[in-house]
Chains A and B, each alone.
Chain A
Amino acid sequence: MASVMKSLTRPMTAEEREKAYSTPKKPDVMERQRLPVRYHVEDFNVEDRPRRFLEVFASVLQHHPNYRLALDHYMRVTTRCARCAVACPIYDATHDPHDIPCYRSELLLSIYRRHFTVSGALRARLLGDPGLADEKLQEMADSYYNCTACRRCHFECPMGIDHALVTHLGRYLLSEIGIVPRALVVSTREQLIGKTANTSAIPLPALIDTLEFLTEDIQDEKGVHVPFPIDQEGAEYIFFTSVSDFMMEAETLKGIAAVMKATGDSWTIGSKYYDGINYGLFYSDQVMEHVLHMMRAEAERLKVKKILIGECGHSARTAKFFYPTYCGGKNALPVISILEYTQRALKEGRIKLDPKVVTEAVTYHDPCNIARPGWIVNQPREVLKAFCSQYVEMAPNGRMNLCCGGGGGTVSIDEIRPFRTAVSGRLKAEQIRRTGATYCVAPCANCKKQLRELMEDQGVECEILGLHDLIYKAILLPPDSAEETAAAEAADGSTASPAEGSPS
């Protein structure tokens, strides 16, 4: 780890810095919104922001005892030792004190201390402190979206402060007064109240077309009928993935369908709701809860037994760790990731992978959202080692991996791509370059998009793909039985039709 971290501790050149902080945003918009941030924000009320921010803060503290607990505690124990600075890939690239995780958290902690504690109020009275100023909100708006919320610093804080939680709260509070990246809020709006009910606005007919096309593709390539079942009531698993996968990650989906075909477990995609994305994790607890409720409604409608999440880090994390929170506690449907599922199937001998197909060097990138909690670290490695003849590790890896640079929803904000590829993904690019691998497996839609842009902008020769892309290359599917061939012919090679029409 030290070697990678040390190699890039040179500060960025002035030219690199200028490029990284460039933005297509017009200065007059920043002026109008009084918000010098590089991401687009929908127009909102700018008057009297500090007061409204404090109202939101008070309301959140009133209804979320968990945040009061965290802020009270962090405020008391923070020692400002700067160990987190060394763990942060962004600080490593910029050497800007504003990018030290502890500094970022202090922005919010100081507001809490000043306005929501007795000692802070007394101190303010003694020193004549006028309280929260708009400039601080502007700084927070910039700072909280420079952080990728990867939680790496949490492991290095001797006081156990989770800066990503503070970032999450900071973004939540800001969003309630209208400061939230347009890219995130527009997608969320479509998902929650739009006609298509998904973040990429993919209509159901387009989805069905895509899936039929994929089935035909597999038939051509593998000679086997592999369906993508839709609305199969009573199936074992309901499948949710980042909806953008249906447009961008055909190989991943084919791999997943092939694995499901090989194991023979019943699974289905819901026609009313098929998006795993949950931007609530990045900026709003209210959004997170509503999105999970949609997932629950679809799972209940189809009477499935388990929720299966595709190759998507934050979808998996929100479902695994927050679905029980919002959808029934210990009685909630179990959530498993396709990575766990495939590893288990391989272990039980239910899928066969040809070890002679993938001979190039393969490395594995741990998506923060699934690796950091220690949930999915070894499973994909076991699978890869089972059929890739040249597997190489990055360093550091596993729970201490480096973020791709597009975490915390920042990958969806296209206008900050220069920052993501020059600053937040800087170390990652070097890390991947050093492995010399031909393929980098990144089982997360966010990571894949970010890493592809990163490889392009940093000039690294490495193909980014999902775990199931490689599995699809190597999987050995048994030929169709007579019944299956008949079924395939009956369906004319197409996907099972939804039980009902389009949700719109």
Chain B
Amino acid sequence: MTAWIDFARGPLFRLSLALMVLGLLRIFIITLLEVRDGYRANSDKIVSWKEIRRQTLGWLFPMFRLWRQRPIYSTVSFLFHIGLIVTPIFLASHILLWRQSVGISWAALPQVAANWLALLVIFTGAGLFLGRALYSPARKISHRQDYFWPLLLITPFVTGYIASNAVISPRTYQEMMLVHIYSGDLILLLIPFTKLAHCVLAPLSQLVTGVAWKFPPGAGDRVAETLGFADRPTWVLNPRLTTAPVEEAIRKGGVAK
């Protein structure tokens, strides 16, 4: 079992981390390139940067917006995200691993705080699961995978918490560590390919929306041209107003040349 753990902690972790970083970089850059394309296609270049900045910061630090809708769920979600990001990065034993393998380290959380944060993630994660399962509108728009994510995300926290508080561990330390590390690696691997990618993409949303509302001039005509409507756009395609050949064309496929 030690070999399995070492594999997951060593090569597999490095691979997962590398894939995560590269994968996230890829979609982040793709999004920025698409923003650039959208911005270039728009002729006026008037984008409300102030509003984009305001909304982006507002959602990065959403403390003042949580109460507006679904306050309990929103607060639970906010706390969950804090614990989810802070705990694994600032856990003393994780930093130790970094120091041993790469030689870098940073300030660690006190163990007590880390324990509380882990519990926070576990309970708020379970809360998110319940919030989805029990709240009718959320349930109705959820996909199957949406229930899976909170459960997967709290798995390393549950096992890590049990492992590091050995007194309450029902199974051996090693078994807990095995699940802890493999689930952690799996999460890292999945982040760039799933909705978890919002961890880097969400801050771009307001920028994306701001640019996406900028329509390229002439594009509507070019679409019509591509579709073969160039001389008879949609608003002319009315059997009562148009001539016989057009009616014929409409019946055949709506394409009038």
Contact = CB atoms under 8 A, between A and B. Distances in A.
Interface of A: 1, 42-45, 47-48, 52, 55-56, 59-60, 62-70, 72-73, 76-83, 85-87, 91, 97, 100, 102-103, 106, 154, 156, 158-162, 165, 175-178, 180, 185, 188-189, 192-193, 284-290, 321-322, 324-326, 328-330, 332, 373-374
B88 interface: no
Q: From DSSP, what is the main secondary structure of chain B's interface residues?
A: helix
Contacts of B221: 286, 289
A177 B27 CA distance: 33
Between A43, A86, A160, the greatest number of chain B beta carbons within 10 A of the residue's beta carbon is seen for: A160
Interface of B: 27, 30-31, 34-35, 37-38, 40-46, 48, 51, 55-56, 59, 62, 68-70, 73-74, 77, 135-138, 140-143, 146, 195, 197-198, 201-202, 204-206, 208-209, 211-224, 226-227, 229, 233-239, 241, 250-254
A286 B202 contact: no
A73 B201 CA distance: 8
A174 to B, nearest CB: 10
Contacts of A87: 69
Contacts of B205: 73, 77, 159-161
B215 to A, nearest CB: 5
B211 A66 contact: yes
Contacts of B31: 69, 72-73
A160 B250 contact: no
B105 to A, nearest CB: 33
B197 to A, nearest CB: 5
Given A100-B137, A102-B141, A154 B209 contact: yes
Contact of B224 (A45, A91, A286): A286
11 contacts: A56-B227, A65-B34, A81-B73, A154-B209, A165-B209, A175-B234, A185-B238, A284-B220, A321-B213, A325-B43, A330-B46
Contact of A289 (B41, B137, B217): B217
Given A44-B254, A63-B222, A165-B213, A176 B44 contact: no
A54 to B, nearest CB: 12
Given A73-B31, A97-B140, A322-B215, A193 B235 contact: yes
Nearest to B249: A45
A159 B227 contact: no
Contacts of B234: 175-176, 178, 180, 185, 284, 286-287
B226 A63 contact: yes
A284 B236 CA distance: 13
Contacts of B226: 59, 62-63
B208 to A, nearest CB: 4
A77 B44 contact: no
A285 B219 contact: yes
Given A70-B208, A156-B68, A185 B214 contact: no
Contacts of A188: 235
Given A73-B201, A76-B27, A87-B69, A68 B34 contact: yes
B44 A325 contact: yes
A178 B227 CA distance: 13
B211 to A, nearest CB: 6
A63 B140 contact: no
Given A68-B34, A73-B204, A185-B235, A59 B223 contact: yes
B253 A45 contact: yes
Given A160-B208, A193-B235, A78 B59 contact: no
Contact of A80 (B146, B208, B215): B146
A83 B209 CA distance: 18
Contact of B216 (A65, A78, A177, A180): A65
B214 A76 contact: no
B223 A82 contact: no
Contact of B237 (A44, A154, A330): A44
A194 to B, nearest CB: 10
A321 B59 CA distance: 24
Contact of A76 (B70, B198, B229, B236): B198
A42 B209 CA distance: 33
B68 A66 contact: no
Given A64-B216, A65-B41, A77-B202, 5 more contacts: A52-B254, A63-B226, A64-B219, A106-B141, A325-B43
A77 B254 contact: no
Nearest to B218: A289
A91 B138 CA distance: 12
A328 to B, nearest CB: 8
B42 A325 contact: yes
Contacts of B73: 81, 83
A66 B236 contact: no
Contacts of B56: 160
Give the top 5 A-B pairs by smallest Cβ distance, nearest first: A160-B205, A286-B220, A97-B140, A82-B138, A70-B212
Nearest to B142: A80
Contacts of A165: 209, 212-213
Contacts of A45: 250-254
B215 A285 contact: yes
A70 B219 CA distance: 16
Given A65-B37, A156-B69, A81 B77 contact: yes
Nearest to A5: B69
B253 A60 contact: no
Given A66-B38, A165-B212, A42 B238 contact: yes
Given A76-B198, A103-B140, A193-B236, A82 B214 contact: no
Nearest to B252: A45
Contact of B41 (A48, A59, A66, A156): A66
Contacts of B223: 56, 59-60, 62-64, 176, 285-286
B220 A86 contact: no
Nearest to A84: B69
Given A69-B212, A80-B143, A329 B69 contact: no
B74 to A, nearest CB: 7
Given A178-B237, A329-B45, A159 B254 contact: no
Contacts of B253: 45, 47-48, 52
Nearest to A325: B44
A323 to B, nearest CB: 9
